Amino acid sequence: MTAEDSPVKQDTNWFPVQITEFLVISIINAITITAFARIRHLRKRSTYLIINLTMADLLIGTVAGPLYVYHKGVEKHELTYPGFFSWTFKLTFLIASPLNLSIISLERLHATLFPFRHCLIRKRFYFKIILGSWLIALLLASLMAGLYLNKPYSAFAYAKTTFDVVNLLVLAVSYLIVVLKTKPHSQNVATLHAERKLSVTLLVVTGVSVLTILPWAIYKSLPQHINAKRDMASDVDIHQMLAVIYFANSIVNPFIYVIRMMEFRNALRSLVSRQSQGRQKRTQRKRTYHSQPETKL
């Protein structure tokens, strides 16, 4: 194997792709959060968890992604305070996104099984859930970071795989019950239709997320002796390709919101029109200023 075909050289070929992907993730999710923040009627109980998921995806693009690229360039991973904190930060945001998907699925399950109780839930309870989700993500991330830096990689791989499997089971069971179990007599037609549409939208979000995360989870959970049989250069390409697919999970959600949620689509259209009107006004003021005749002293 020549120096040009080494795994390190192969790995750097993916650097522009990853940086571009993280930039796209940051921009798209920042626009999504801006739409939720600027349009008041989008900030309601049914979208609080969606906003939290979008924030997690934004932090993946701005923090976890760059840390992922940085850690790929570090040859040795030792249990030091800087290394532990950087790995904990990265894993926190990578865990928070799928964890929020599970919380959203449980919230949809509660809305389906207990519609009256769900209508009585206060906003404060959602804020507690969001805070709790970040604390759980931080705790799991710190434990996994310690396993990765202090013990054999297999311990970290098994812990991460266990989290992915449990997360997948929660998603599958929750949405299976949501699809099969409905109570049309407990709500009026308009409310029932809105709840069903939101559940279907979040089911699509979850399905796409599973399709992007599952290949990476299966690959990382393969035993060490299987990984050792593969050629190192080709293994790097497979690893980086699956990583790109994995991080693409943080890109697709806003597009699903645009397609499935009319309110969000209208909010984006209103936001874009406001920005264009603002630019037109600024341009008009500049033209008016430059067209004014100079006054002689």
> What digits encode the pLDDT tens for the residues 232-266?
555 667 778 888 888 888 888 887 877 777 767 77
Q: Which of 62-76, 126-140, 277-291 has the highest average model confidence (pLDDT)?
A: 126-140
Spatial distance between the Cα atoms of 102 and 260, rounded to a whole number of angstroms = 20
Evaluate if residue 185 carries a pLDDT over 60: no
In-domain check, residue 142: yes
In-domain check, residue 1: no
In-domain check, residue 179: yes
In-domain check, residue 46: yes
Evaluate if residue 129 carries a pLDDT over 60: yes
40-64: buried (b, 16+ CB within 10 Å) or exposed (e) per residue? eebeeebbbbbbbbbbbbbbbbbbb
From the DSSP assignment, how many helices (H) and strands (E) are in the chain?
A: 13, 0
- Region 175-184 average pLDDT: 72
pLDDT score at 138? 95
Write out pLDDT tens, residues 96-125: 988 998 998 898 888 888 888 888 888 889
At 101, is the secondary structure helix, strand, or coil? helix
Domains of the chain: total: 1
Of the candidate ranges 69-78, 124-133, 172-181, the one whose mean pLDDT is the lowest: 69-78
In-domain check, residue 2: no
- Region 186-208 average pLDDT: 68
Evaluate if residue 295 carries a pLDDT over 60: no
Spatial distance between the Cα atoms of 27 and 38, rounded to a whole number of angstroms = 16
In-domain check, residue 61: yes
Tell me the pLDDT band of 15, cut-offs 50, 70 and 90: confident
Provide the residue range defining the domain that includes 248: 7-291
CA angle, 245 then 249 then 86, to 5°: 85
Tell me the pLDDT band of 155, cut-offs 50, 70 and 90: confident
CA 149 to chain centre: 25
Write out pLDDT tens, residues 33-80: 888 877 777 777 778 888 899 999 999 999 998 888 887 766 555 667
Name the average pLDDT for the chain: 76
Nearest to 64 by CA among 43, 34, 95, 35: 95
Q: What is the CATH number of the domain that holds 210?
A: 1.20.1070.10
In-domain check, residue 242: yes
In-domain check, residue 297: no
Evaluate if residue 174 carries a pLDDT over 90: no
- Decide which of 157 and 177 is more confident: 177
